[in-house]
Structure formats: structure tokens, C-alpha cells
């Protein structure tokens, strides 16, 4: 991405080398660390409407996932487990040991893996419009899966993944009219002018088809209980995921609550930012136990270059 990240008041930008991956991160506020992981076809900017409120109480860390936004787009590594490792490596570089975690869409899947595999580092998890990692194959799975036709479309190759599908997603996955106008869509679509980032999208979705969906349905993640306190925020008008697909955990979640956001599509942080920010702040404020400061989380990233 040759253009600089869009300006948001109170937000600073840094580039951090994470195991050879030049990672862009937006930082704001002060307090206990709160990590926000975006989805596709967006990047860190999807959080701009909730950032001001969250930054009043937290040091907010918004990385761009590999291949999206201003983070490098290498040839491989487009799997949730690698994304989770990228995020933890970035936080290690920032000196953040324990943190609150918020994830949406692809970022939500990475957030679930971090919470499942590194529960000692995660104070709490908020999953926004993200499929449950404990999804089982049921009679309803196939009809629900038909909503996700974009997965196969993106996996076919750059022709669709680089233009048609991102435009469709930004126009049609929003339920509240006017909350994602054309000028905002253009900020996200600019990244797909880069052929390497288009290929990154294709690799994300080919891996989802070939590995991740079969593994989830086969029960890969059902072997590990979710012990981290978790809040699921589910837009009830999401064209991709029904509420039941976001909240089906059974007995595997030790501390789970679900909030349904009425009249909201796939992008709650854009469509109803006040509700999202309020739920996130209330959730982390009510978690038991003393706050844990995350090392140098109040400071700038070490070895970071200018944006």
C-alpha cells in the first residue's frame, strides 16, 4: 500500500517487524491493553468509530492482519493459526503480556484460536459476527453454508477476489443504510489494487475451503474447552451467519454470554458503533480480578518505523 493509512484523531501508526513480517499497527489511548482484530475485506480502519470510546479506558492495539491493510502480503501463512501467531508476536514486541481481545470475522477466528491455545494471556474475548469454532455438521449446516458462497468465489482466483467480491461484500453485507457509504468503501477497496493483496485473499479462502472448514466440522477445536470469559455480539441481520451459527458452543464454553444486536448486518462496529463500544467496555469492566498492566503497552512499539 503506497498511500498512508487514513488519519483518525488520537491514533498513532507504527510498523513492527514480527518474525520477518512487516506489520502495521494503529495505537490509541492508555490503560489496560485491548486488541482489536479486523475482518475481510477490511483492515484496522473498521474500528475507527469505536476507537475514541475504547481509548478512554484502554491502550487500544489494532493490527492489520497479514495480506490486508498496510501489513506485508507474503506468499504463504494465510491460516488462522499463523494469523494468531502473528498477533502474539506483535504483542510480544509491544511488551504486552495480558490483554483483552476483540475479533470480527477472520479476526474473530484468529481471536478464538488465541483464547483456546493461550488462555493465560487473554483476560476476556469479544467475538463479533464470527462463526463458532465448535460448529457441528447438522441438517442446518448445509443451508447456512449456502449463505457463504463468497468463500468459493474468492477461492476461484484473482479475477473475482480482486474486484467483484470485495465490492459486493461492502455494499450488501451492511443492513443499516448509509453506514458504509461509497467513500468509505473506497478506503477498503484501495488495498485490492495491489496484486499481492488480491492473491493473499485467494490464499485465505482456498485454505478455508481446503483445510479450515473441514477441520472445524470434524471437531478440531472441540477438543479444547473455551475457558476465557467470552461475549458474543451477533448482528441479527447478518446475511452470512445466523445468530445460532455464532452462538453454538454447548458445554465447551465455561463463561459465555451472547448479545444480539437488532437491525445490524455483518459490520456491527460500523453499523452500530455505540452499542459495540458500550458492550465491550461493560464486559471488560465487569471481569473479575485486578487489572493486569501489559508491560510497555502504554508506550510506542520498539523498533517501529514511521507510518
For 51-109, write each residue's pLDDT tens digit: 999 999 999 999 999 999 999 999 999 999 999 999 999 999 999 999 999 999 999 99
Grouping H, G, I as helix, E, B as strand and the rest as coil, residue 189 is helix
Q: Which residue has the cell 507510518?
A: 307
* 65-98 residues labelled b (16+ CB within 10 A) or e (exposed): bbbbbbbbbbeebbbbebbbbbbbbbbebbebeb
Q: Give the model confidence (pLDDT) of 103-123 as tens digits.
A: 999 999 999 999 999 999 999
Joined together, the cell numbers standing for residue 244 give 445460532
Q: Are 25 and 59 in contact (CB under 8 A)?
A: no
Q: Give the model confidence (pLDDT) of 190-238 as tens digits.
A: 999 999 999 999 999 999 999 999 998 888 988 899 999 999 999 999 9
Joined together, the cell numbers standing for residue 186 give 473506497
How much is the mean pLDDT over the chain? Answer: 91
**Which pLDDT belongs to residue 288?**
56
Higher per-residue pLDDT: 248 or 197: 197
Amino acid at each position: 500500500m503506497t498511500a498512508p493509512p487514513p488519519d483518525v484523531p488520537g491514533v498513532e501508526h507504527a510498523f513492527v517487524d514480527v518474525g520477518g513480517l512487516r506489520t502495521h499497527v494503529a495505537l490509541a489511548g492508555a490503560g489496560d491493553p485491548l486488541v482489536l482484530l479486523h475482518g475481510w475485506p477490511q483492515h484496522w480502519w473498521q474500528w475507527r468509530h469505536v476507537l475514541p470510546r475504547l481509548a478512554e479506558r484502554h491502550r487500544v492495539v489494532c493490527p492489520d492482519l497479514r495480506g490486508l491493510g498496510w501489513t506485508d502480503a507474503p506468499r504463504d501463512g494465510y491460516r488462522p493459526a499463523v494469523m494468531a501467531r502473528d498477533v502474539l508476536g506483535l504483542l510480544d514486541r509491544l511488551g504486552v503480556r495480558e490483554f483483552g481481545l476483540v475479533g470480527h470475522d477472520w479476526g474473530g477466528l484468529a481471536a478464538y484460536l488465541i483464547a483456546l491455545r493461550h488462555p493465560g494471556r487473554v483476560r476476556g474475548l469479544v467475538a463479533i459476527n464470527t462463526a463458532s469454532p465448535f460448529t457441528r455438521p447438522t441438517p442446518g449446516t448445509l443451508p447456512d453454508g449456502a449463505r457463504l458462497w463468497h468463500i468459493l468465489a474468492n477461492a476461484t482466483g484473482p479475477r473475482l477476489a480482486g474486484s467483484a467480491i470485495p465490492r459486493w461484500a461492502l455494499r450488501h453485507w451492511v443492513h443499516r443504510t448509509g453506514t458504509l457509504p461509497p467513500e468509505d468503501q473506497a478506503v477498503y477497496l484501495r488495498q485490492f489494487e495491489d496484486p499481492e493483496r488480491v492473491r493473499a485473499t485467494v490464499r485465505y479462502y482456498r485454505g478455508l475451503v481446503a483445510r479450515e472448514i473441514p477441520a472445524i466440522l470434524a471437531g478440531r477445536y472441540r477438543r479444547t474447552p473455551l475457558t476465557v470469559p467470552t461475549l458474543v455480539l451477533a448482528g441479527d441481520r447478518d446475511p452470512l451467519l445466523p445468530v445460532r451459527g455464532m452462538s453454538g458452543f454447548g458445554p465447551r464454553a465455561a463463561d459465555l454470554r451472547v448479545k444480539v444486536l437488532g437491525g445490524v448486518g455483518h459490520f456491527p462496529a460500523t453499523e452500530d458503533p455505540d452499542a459495540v463500544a458500550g458492550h465491550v467496555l461493560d464486559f471488560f469492566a465487569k471481569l473479575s480480578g485486578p487489572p493486569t498492566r501489559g508491560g510497555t503497552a502504554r508506550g510506542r512499539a520498539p523498533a517501529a518505523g514511521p507510518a
